[in-house]
Structure 1
Amino acid sequence: MKVAIIGLGFRLGYLGRVFRELDPSFEIVGYVDPAPAGMATLAENGISAGVAHTTPEALIAAGGFDLLMIGSPNHMHLNHIRLGLEAGLTVFTEKPIVTSVEESFALASLLHTYGHDRLLVGLVLRYSPLYRDLRKAQAEGRLGDVVSIEASEHIQPYHGAFFMRDWRRYGRYAGGFMLEKCCHDLDLYNGVVGARPRFVASFGGRKSFIPANAPQNSGINDMEVYHRKPSGWEGSDKVFDSDGDIIDYQTAIVEYENGVSMTFHTNLNVPDEFRRFCVIGSKGMAEGDFVRGFMDVHDARTNEKVVANTYSAPSALSQHYGADEQMAEDVIAFVQIGAKQPVSAVDALEAGILALAMDEARFGRKVVDLQPVWEKFDACLHGAPGAVQARSA
């Protein structure tokens, strides 16, 4: 399989290694990136990045590839996706798919024009063995009707510091932390609920990564842990005095259109990190943790534990609990034989809109009603007269 890359950052550099391990014929024919942070990872694994192009248009015009992969900063995604779809290409984009509700409408219009199946999205947790087992237990009726969900994504201080230093610290580039990092999780639970979110409230801010908490203020001057994860484009050395507008903790509550409720919590300064959920249904409960690698299901009538699964990554180099390998395998199968994917561009847009609503609620200290958003989104998705049209950036 031959690919071209717009935005050769750390993420697509890593995925290049994963794709090559699964498909020895995997080849990158060219890329566009003025400062390709992922180049070193490719070189370490003997993978060429192909020909460097100065613009996405030049890369696309050169041709000779089966898949266009987009790993550019989030605020550039819409234009890069549009270029690929207009050129008749199959496109894979990293998450989040776009960075605003208006961009969501514009991409929905593009999907109406060019079709849904040509745009793949890297919501990698949909491919994880744990999530697949959760949906299997649900399909088997072990949970009954879903009633409520408690979920979280918590990351260690070294990772939180990365967000304070990277381009993702700016909402204008990333769309906010809930969108940039937690859209994975929101997508998972949207899928479990099987309905769109309707009402959203949220609170949060920054309390950990502030000047008063810098180690040197406690007589300690060891900042190594906070620089362990390298930053790329627009990177900074500032951690506790970051100039970004990113949060380091946030809590949200959601009511879905079918009445299911969910609480979701994220924190960027958790020493013993976890990424867990508890899905409570009318017949049972599923509890699991992607980081700690388990999923248990209990029967509500007997209290019996009917599922007790454990999980481990396939190798020490594996990210996302082994889901990257399955995602790469599925994307290759899509390119080669059109195999069905477990997540769609529409799923990604719906998760993104929920994340953006969480920030709208946080900023305005209000409950956001998403019904008007879904009405306009569906109008764009189905090409209703007057719907938003995507334009060149």
Structure 2
Amino acid sequence: MKVAIIGLGFRLGYLGVVFSELDPDFEIVGYVDPAPAGLETLEKDGISPGRAYDTPEALIENETFDLLMIGSPNFMHLDHIRTGLEAGLTVFTEKPIVMSIEESYELAALLNAYGYDRLLVGLVLRYSPLYRDLRAAQADGRLGDVVSIEASEHIAPYHGAFFMRDWRRHTRYSGPFMLEKCCHDLDLYNGVVGARPRYVASFGGRKSFTPANAPQGAGANDIEVYHRKPSGWMGSDRVFDSDGDIIDYQTATVEYENGVAMTFHTNLNVPDEFRRFCVIGAKGMAEGDFVRGFLDVHDARTGEKTVSRTYSAPSERSQHYGADEQMAEDVIAHITRGAALPVSALDAIEAGILALAMDEARRERKVVDLAPVWARYDALLHGETAEAKATG
């Protein structure tokens, strides 16, 4: 499989290695990135990045490939997706797919014109063994009707400090933190619920990475933990007095259209990190943790544990609990043989809209009703809006 890359950052550099390990014919024919942070990762594994180009248009005009991969900063995603779709290409974009409600509408119109099956998205946790086992237990009837969910994504201080130093610290480039980091998780639970979110409330802010909490004493600003994860484009060394505007903790409550309720919590300063969920249904309960690597399912009537599984990454360098390897395998099969994928661009847009609603609710201290958003989104996704037809 041959690919071209727009935005050769750390993420797509790593995925280039993963894809090359699974496909002996994998080749990167070229890339566009003025400062390719992922180049070193590829070169360490002896993988050529192909020719460097100044613009996506030049790359597309001069190279032949099977898949255009987008790893550019979030605020560029929509333009790069549009360029690929208009050129007749199959496109893979990293999450989040776009970074605002308005961009979600624009993308819906694009997909109406070009077809959503030509746009793939890197919501990698859908490919994780743990999530697949959770959905299998649900399909087997072990949970019954889902009633409520408690879930979280908590990340360690070294990773939280990265967000305070990286370009992602500016929401004008990344969108809000719930979108940039937690859209993975929100997509998972949207899938479990099987319905769209309707009402959203949320609270949060920044309380950990503030000047008052900066380490004190000689050399305090060079403490290794806060600089362990390197930043790329627009990187900074400032952690506790970052010029960014992202939050470092947030909670949200969601009611779905089918009445299921969910609470979700994120925090960027959790020294013993976890990424867990508890899905409670009428017939059973599923509890799991991606970081700590387990899934337990209990029967509501008998209390019996009907599923008990543990998980570990396939290698020391593996990211996302082995999900990247499965995603690469499935994407290769999709491109070369037309195999189905477990997540779509539409799933990604819906997860993004939920994340954006969470941030709107937090900022404006209100309950957000998503019904008008879904109505406009569906009209654009499926064709002309009622207003356009009326005035046509």
Q: TM-score range by the shorter chain?
A: over 0.9
Partner of 1:318: 318
Partner of 2:30: 30
Partner of 1:383: 383
The letter of the residue matching 2:262 is: M
Partner of 1:210: 210
- Give the 5 Å matches for 1:235-384: 235-384=235-384
Q: Distance in 2 between matches of 1:371 and 1:33?
A: 39
Q: Distance in 1 between matches of 2:119 and 2:77?
A: 12
C-alpha contact 2:376 2:385 (8 A) present in aligned 1: no
- 1:386–1:5: structure 2 CA closer, same or farther, 3 Å change rule? farther
Q: CA deviation at 1:116?
A: 1.1
Identity %: 81
The letter of the residue matching 1:274 is: F
Q: CA deviation at 1:140?
A: 0.3
Alignment of 1:127 onto 2:113: no
Q: CA deviation at 1:222?
A: 4.9
Compute the TM-score of the two structures, normalised by the length of structure 1. 0.97
Q: CA deviation at 1:384?
A: 1.9
Q: CA deviation at 1:379?
A: 0.4
The letter of the residue matching 1:366 is: K
Structure 2 unmatched ranges of 5 or more: none
C-alpha contact 1:380 1:387 (8 A) present in aligned 2: no
Q: CA deviation at 1:106?
A: 0.4
The letter of the residue matching 1:180 is: E
Structure 1 unmatched ranges of 5 or more: 389-393
Partner of 1:187: 187
Q: Distance in 2 between matches of 1:217 and 1:232?
A: 28
Q: Distance in 1 between matches of 2:180 and 2:387?
A: 26
Cα deviations across residues 334-391 of structure 1 (Å, max 9, x unaligned)?
1101111000000000000000000000000000000000000000100124789xxx
Q: Distance in 2 between matches of 1:152 and 1:136?
A: 21
Compute the TM-score of the two structures, normalised by the length of structure 2. 0.98
Q: Which segments of structure 1 move beyond 3 Å, counting only runs of 4 or more?
A: 217-222, 385-388
Task: Give the secondary structure class of the aligned counterpart of 2:286.
Answer: strand
Q: Distance in 1 between matches of 2:4 and 2:104?
A: 24
- Give the 5 Å matches for 1:140-219: 140-216=140-216
Task: Give the secondary structure class of the aligned counterpart of 2:161.
Answer: helix
Q: Distance in 2 between matches of 1:243 and 1:387?
A: 42
C-alpha contact 1:109 1:387 (8 A) present in aligned 2: no
The letter of the residue matching 2:12 is: L
Q: Distance in 2 between matches of 1:281 and 1:90?
A: 38
Q: Distance in 2 between matches of 1:42 and 1:221?
A: 31
Q: CA deviation at 1:224?
A: 1.1
Q: Distance in 2 between matches of 1:215 and 1:21?
A: 42
Q: CA deviation at 1:24?
A: 1.3
Which of 218-227 and 333-342 deviates more? 218-227
- 1:26–1:172: structure 2 CA closer, same or farther, 3 Å change rule? same
- 1:145–1:218: structure 2 CA closer, same or farther, 3 Å change rule? farther
Q: Distance in 1 between matches of 2:15 and 2:6?
A: 14
The letter of the residue matching 1:370 is: L
C-alpha contact 1:379 1:387 (8 A) present in aligned 2: no
Alignment of 1:21 onto 2:21: yes
Q: Distance in 2 between matches of 1:244 and 1:187?
A: 26
- 1:221–1:70: structure 2 CA closer, same or farther, 3 Å change rule? closer
Q: CA deviation at 1:63?
A: 2.6
Q: Distance in 2 between matches of 1:50 and 1:386?
A: 47
Partner of 1:54: 54
- 1:225–1:65: structure 2 CA closer, same or farther, 3 Å change rule? same
Cα deviations across residues 6-45 of structure 1 (Å, max 9, x unaligned)?
0000000000000000001110000000000000000000
